[in-house]
Amino acid sequence: MSAIASAAADAFIKRLPPDVIFFLVHGADEGLAHERVKAIVAAALGGEADPLRLVRFEGDALAREPGALADEAYAIAMFGGRRAIWIDAQARDLLPALEPLFARPPEDCVVVVKAGALKKGTALRSAFEKLANGVAIECYGDEERSLTSLIESEARAAGLAIAPDARQYLTALLGADRQTTRGEIMKLMLYARDKGRIEVEDVEAIVADAAPSGLDDLVDCALTGDIGGIEAAASRFFREGGDADLLMSRAVWRALLVHRLRLEMEQGKPFDMAAQAVYVRLPSASRAALARQVERWSSATLAGALPALRAASARVRAEPKLSDALAMRALWALAQRARRPAP
């Protein structure tokens, strides 16, 4: 069918064409990709949360057994109705599993694939863009207009007003990852729920300074390969009551931002133009630190490091008793990767 740009994706999903059954949702903003896959699945199933009509696959599993996808796609729902298959690609080659379905599309079943950032011309992306009954949907960080709309709609839903300068300040702090953005907005709404109106000082208290002061230093050290600096920054961070889950969330968010910047720079843009393209708005000191991190990585190297970083973040949440140690191990591994020359 076509490729859908990130800015047009939400409107497209609200009015899904009935003849489209194959969806590729891809991009650097993993939180936004996850949100859009959920919306597509919900629309395909008519808003019904019936677990018997939804099947999920991991890319690793399909790489080992590609025929399992066809078995599920051509199966008939036990109690009837449309079915959906949600696949997390995990950077795996899924075409051997998908091509039989492209050749003989299943009936009453949609297939939704979530993938990371895919350059134009990538085999998987091209395959979906060429399908008459398929579409590839981009997911990149929220632009200022869509971010402003999201903030205002969430404030209205919470019964709150937001001052124009507070909205502008909040917009400047968010946008690289939809999941992180929603989390920060939710915290802000909870904080201000008894005030009736959100002011700049509320944003400063909850979003701009939500973490202990050593957090950004610690993430900076990891992404620039400063192993010695990690030790000092970690000691400060945890001594001040730092939370390992928040630390890992920030590390994933920053790595995604660096990855997006590298993709822009590898198309020939200097850092300042790349930062403008992805709506980076930071104080000069933070911007300089980010530039140093970007110089340490290539998009391919960082794309290879992100799955392990995300997995570590999930494990930190799942094992709170070991969270500090797990977070430190993940940051050491990231720093070791950053010390290798970019290819």
| Rounded mean pLDDT, 314-329 | 89
Pick the residue with more confidence: 103 or 142?
Answer: 103
Please identify which residue in the block is written with the tokens 């690609």: 89
**Cβ count near 164 (within 10 Å):** 8
H or E segment at 215? helix 215-224
Considering Cα of 296, then 301, then 303, then 309, what sign does the dihedral take? negative
242 and 191, same structural domain? no
User: Which pair of tokens denotes residue 156?
Assistant: 């209205």
118 and 157, same structural domain? no
Number of H helices, E strands in the chain: 17, 8
172 and 238, same structural domain? no
pLDDT of res. 342: 57
Encode pLDDT of 51-60 as tens digits.
778 999 988 8
Tell me the pLDDT band of 160, cut-offs 50, 70 and 90: very high
134 and 6, same structural domain? yes
291 and 165, same structural domain? no
Q: Which of 59, 72, 23, 73 is nearest to 43 (CA)?
A: 23
271 and 190, same structural domain? no
Q: 3-state class of 240 per DSSP?
A: coil
263 and 162, same structural domain? no
Tell me the pLDDT band of 169, cut-offs 50, 70 and 90: confident
Burial of 52 (0-12, 13-18, 19+ CB in 10 A): exposed
228 and 184, same structural domain? no
Domain that holds residue 186: 144-208
Round to whole Å and give the CA distance between 155 and 196.
Answer: 10
Q: Is the pLDDT of residue 323 over 70?
A: yes
269 and 285, same structural domain? yes
CATH at 72: 3.40.50.300
CATH at 268: 1.20.272.10
| Rounded mean pLDDT, 321-327 | 91
Round to whole Å and give the CA distance between 316 and 332.
Answer: 15
Encode pLDDT of 89-131 as tens digits.
877 889 999 999 999 999 889 999 999 888 888 999 999 999 9
pLDDT of res. 50: 67
52 and 33, same structural domain? yes
Please identify which residue in the block is written with the tokens 């808003």: 47
178 and 92, same structural domain? no
Q: Which of 256, 26, 30 is nearest to 119 (CA)?
A: 26
Encode pLDDT of 229-270 as tens digits.
998 888 888 887 778 887 888 888 888 889 989 998 998 999
| Rounded mean pLDDT, 144-167 | 87
334 and 265, same structural domain? yes
H or E segment at 239? helix 227-239
Round to whole Å and give the CA distance between 80 and 165.
Answer: 52
